[in-house]
Structure 1
Amino acid sequence: MTYELRTYTAAPGKMDALMERFRESTIDLFTEHSMTSLGYWTPVGTPDVLIYLLRHEGDPKENWKAFGADRRWIDAKSASETDGVLAAKIESVLLEATDLHPIVEAN
C-alpha cells in the first residue's frame, strides 16, 4: 500500500474556494478512484496552505490518471476556476509505511 502526502499552496485569495472544491467534489471523487483521505490540515500560522494524506489502493499513477480523466472532476475544476486557478503550487511525496509504529487510520 502506498500513501501520498500532498501540499497545496493556494493562489492569493483562493483558499476558501480551494477548501470548498475539496468539500463539494474532490474528496468523494478520490474515493471512487481508489484514494482514501486520511486527514487534512493547515499549518499553524500558514493559512494559505492545505496538507493532506491519501492512502492509495493500487498504483498511484493509475489512480491519478483515472481521477484526472473523470468528467466530474474536469467539470468541477473548470467551474471552480472561472476567476483563476486555485492552487499556486502542488507538492507530492509518495510514502511507504515502516514497522516503527502501527498505522492509525481515520474512519
Structure 2
Amino acid sequence: MILELCVYRCLPGRLPALMNRFESSTLDLFAKHGFTPHGFFTTMVGRSAQELTYMLLWDSLDQREKCWHSFHHDPDWIAARTASEADGMIVVNASNQLLQPTPFSPLR
C-alpha cells in the first residue's frame, strides 16, 4: 500500500473555487479513473489557511501512474479545470509525497 499526500496551496481567496471544483467534478473523475481517496482536509491551524490537503491510497506505483495519466488526459477534466479557472488561476503551488507505512503503522 502506498499513500499519496497532496497539498494544493491556493491564491488568496481561491480556496472556495478549488473546493467547488472537487465537489462538482474532481471526485467523480477520481472515481471514473480508479482513484481511492482516503481523506480531504483544509488547514485550521498552520502555515496557510488557503490549502486543500488530501490523501489517496494506491496498491502500486504502476496503478498510480496509470490512473493519473488517464485523469490528466480526460477531456472532462480538462473542461472542468478550464471552466473553474475562468476567473483566474486557483492553485499557486501543488506538492505530492508518496509514503509507505512502517511495519508498526496501523495503516498498512
TM-score, scaled to structure 1: 0.87
Q: Does 1:82 align with 2:82?
A: no
- Trace 1:82-101 onto structure 2 (pairs within 5 A): 82-101=86-105
In the TM superposition, what is the alpha-carbon distance from 1:13 to its structure 2 partner? Answer: 1.6
Conserved? CA contact 1:11–1:86, under 8 Å: yes
Q: Which residue of 2 aligns with 1:62?
A: 66
Q: Which runs of 5+ in 1 are unaligned?
A: none
Moved more, 48-57 or 67-76: 48-57
Q: Which runs of 4+ in 1 moved over 4 A?
A: none
State whether residues 35 and 57 of structure 1, in contact with CA within 8 Å, keep that contact through their aligned partners in structure 2.
no
Q: State the match for 2:19 in structure 1.
A: 19
Q: Count residues with an aligned counterpart.
A: 104
Alignment partner of 1:20: what SS?
Answer: helix
Question: 1:36-90 deviations in whole A, cap 9, x for unaligned?
Answer: 1111111223320111000124422221111000111011001000111111100
What RMSD in Å do the two structures reach over aligned CA positions? 1.6
User: TM-score w.r.t. structure 2 length?
Assistant: 0.86
Alpha-carbon deviations, 1:4-53, whole Å to 9, x = none?
00000011221000000001111121122121111111122332011100
More deviation in 73-82 or 46-55? 46-55
The percentage of aligned residue pairs carrying the same residue is 38
